[in-house]
Amino acid sequence: MSDELKRGLEGVLVAESDLSFIDGDEGKLVYRGYAIEDLAEHASYEETVYLLWNGELPTESELSTFADAMSAERALDDDTLETVTRLAEADEEPMAAMRTAASMLSAADPDTDADPTDPEANVRKARRITAKLPTALAAFARVRDGDEPVEPREDLGHAENFLYMLNGEVPDEVTADVFDQALVLHADHGLNASTFSATVTASTLADMHSAITSAVGTLSGSLHGGANANVMRMLQEVDEADEDPVEWVKRALDEGRRVAGFGHRVYNVKDPRAKILGDRSEELGEASGDRKWYEMSVAIEEYMAEEKGLAPNVDFYSATTYYQMGIPIDIYTPIFAVSRAGGWAAHVMEQFEDNRLIRPRARYVGEKDAKWVPIDER
């Protein structure tokens, strides 16, 4: 047994998966064999989730049945909706509210007493979680802003329905398409921290809801989720300073500040998802007649590449994409969870197929021969 220490488990292989593949040197991301560029251009979020859960693309009838089954599960039970409402009124952090909602969904799930490894029950649980988390998030955001929750509609697609519940009106086709594409891009990404958290929890034979709740909690940490919100706040700061973005970045770096949205544990080149969202950010700017957020981002990207050798990750351009769609900055990370729920569930189901308890070791560096001292002599 090797005693080599790998902090953060970097580079350590702990599982085999056929869900997604990342080539960090080539800037390549694949779901079940399909390039992310093809999926982003052609597949809906529902189609992508079907692929992740079933291993193959659906036929037209299979996709219709799958999408209908998911849309039928969107409504929240009264207790969960009441809890989300109370959390919003108490000004809870959005990710904390999402964590609570994910856990609470188990109480009303018809399969809550099923064996944790039951494949069919897990598909049903995964479908309900993936369908209901957007409803919980939209309700939270509206109540927090003093508005009433909007009930989901079964005749709208997954992405379109979320924007409808969030804003109270059906989005235009372009906005709905861009958001759907963003959900596809965030659906899975290998064994990242939150996905690993979900699989560790599942490996103990905890149930689907416990695993997803673990994942949401892990995503809430600033070193995993939250980067796109930080990118947008940074860009707002640049804008408010009325300063050239490159000069602002130079000054920020001189002050020891970190420029959000750059660098990645896996990618050594530009994140392929950033390329796609960069194009969509530009399109949204063109459509609105205001390209400043996109142009500001490009200027910073070019400087960071030339001077620091750093490329943007997915968060860098998802920030301006969401912002131009009118989405509140502090729900960017919960939207990540809304999308990644499909991927988390896929990994949980994959873990159960050939389960082994995940139990790494730690190197002990403490004292080994301490002598007991009676309490009256300490």
Q: Which pLDDT score, from 0 to 100, does residue 13 have? A: 83
Q: Which two tokens stand for residue 231?
A: 């990118």
**Residue 315 falls in the annotated catalytic set:** yes
Give the mean pLDDT of 293-302. Answer: 96
Q: What is the pLDDT of residue 361?
A: 87
**d(Cα 269, Cα 23) in Å, to the nearest integer?**
10
If one compares 25 and 8, the residue with the highest pLDDT of the two is: 25
- Is the model's pLDDT at 195 over the cut of 60? yes
3: pLDDT confidence band, cut at 50, 70 and 90?
A: confident
Domains and CATH numbers, the chain: 28-222+330-353 (1.10.580.10), 226-325 (1.10.230.10)
Burial letters 270-279, b for 16+ CB under 10 A, else e: bbbbbbbbbe
Residues in the chain, overall count: 378
* pLDDT tens-digit map of 137-156: 999 999 999 999 999 999 99
* 338 has pLDDT over 70: yes
Which residue among the candidates 111, 180, 271, 315 is catalytic per the annotation? 315
* Tokens of residue 256, six digits: 């020891």
Beta strands in 15-57 (DSSP E): 20-23, 28-31, 34-35
Q: Which residues pair with 35 in a beta bridge?
A: 30
Structure tokens at 140: 């939270």
Of the listed ranges 12-26, 175-189, 199-213, 330-344, the least confidently predicted one is 12-26
Alpha-carbon Rg for the chain in angstroms? 22
pLDDT at 276: 97
Alpha-carbon span 322 to 261, nearest angstrom: 14
Percentage, residues of the chain above pLDDT 70: 99
Spatial strand order of the sheet with 28-31 comes to: 20-23, 28-31, 34-35
- Residue 277 — pLDDT band, cuts 50, 70, 90? very high
Is pLDDT of 1 > 70? no
Averaged pLDDT, 20-35? 95
Report the candidate in 367, 364, 349, 376 with the shortest Cα–Cα distance to residue 55. 349
- pLDDT of 342 > 90? The answer is yes
Q: Is 42 noted as a catalytic residue in this protein? A: no
% the chain with pLDDT above 90: 89
Residues 293, 290: Cα–Cα separation, whole Å? 8
Q: Give the pLDDT mean for 214-230.
A: 92
Position 365 pLDDT exceeds 80 = yes
List phi, psi (to 5°) of 23.
-110, 100
User: What pTM was computed for the model?
Assistant: 0.94
Q: What is the dihedral of CA 213, 217, 223, 229, to 10 degrees?
A: 90
Contact 234, 297 (CB under 8 A): no
**How high is the pLDDT of residue 2?**
66
Mean pLDDT within 294-323: 94
Which helix (H) or strand (E) element contains residue 81?
Answer: helix 78-89
Check: CB of residue 165 under 8 Å from CB of residue 152: yes
Question: What mean pLDDT value characterizes the chain?
Answer: 95
Label residue 347 by pLDDT band (50, 70, 90). very high
Q: Is residue 188 within 8 Å of 161, Cβ to Cβ?
A: no
Active-site option among 207, 264, 271, 347: 264
**Under a CB-based contact definition with an 8 Å cutoff, are residues 188 and 213 in contact?**
no
Residue 71 contacts residue 161 (beta carbons within 8 Å): yes
pLDDT at 233: 95
Give 238-272 pLDDT, tens digit per residue: 999 999 999 999 999 999 998 999 988 788 899 99
pLDDT band at 226 (very low <50, low <70, confident <90, very high): confident
Instruction: Evaluate if residue 225 carries a pLDDT over 90.
Output: no
Q: Which two tokens stand for residue 344?
A: 């988390």
pLDDT-derived band at 87 (thresholds 50, 70, 90) equals very high
| pLDDT (0 to 100) of residue 267 | 87
**Residues 159-168: tens digit of each pLDDT:** 999 999 999 9
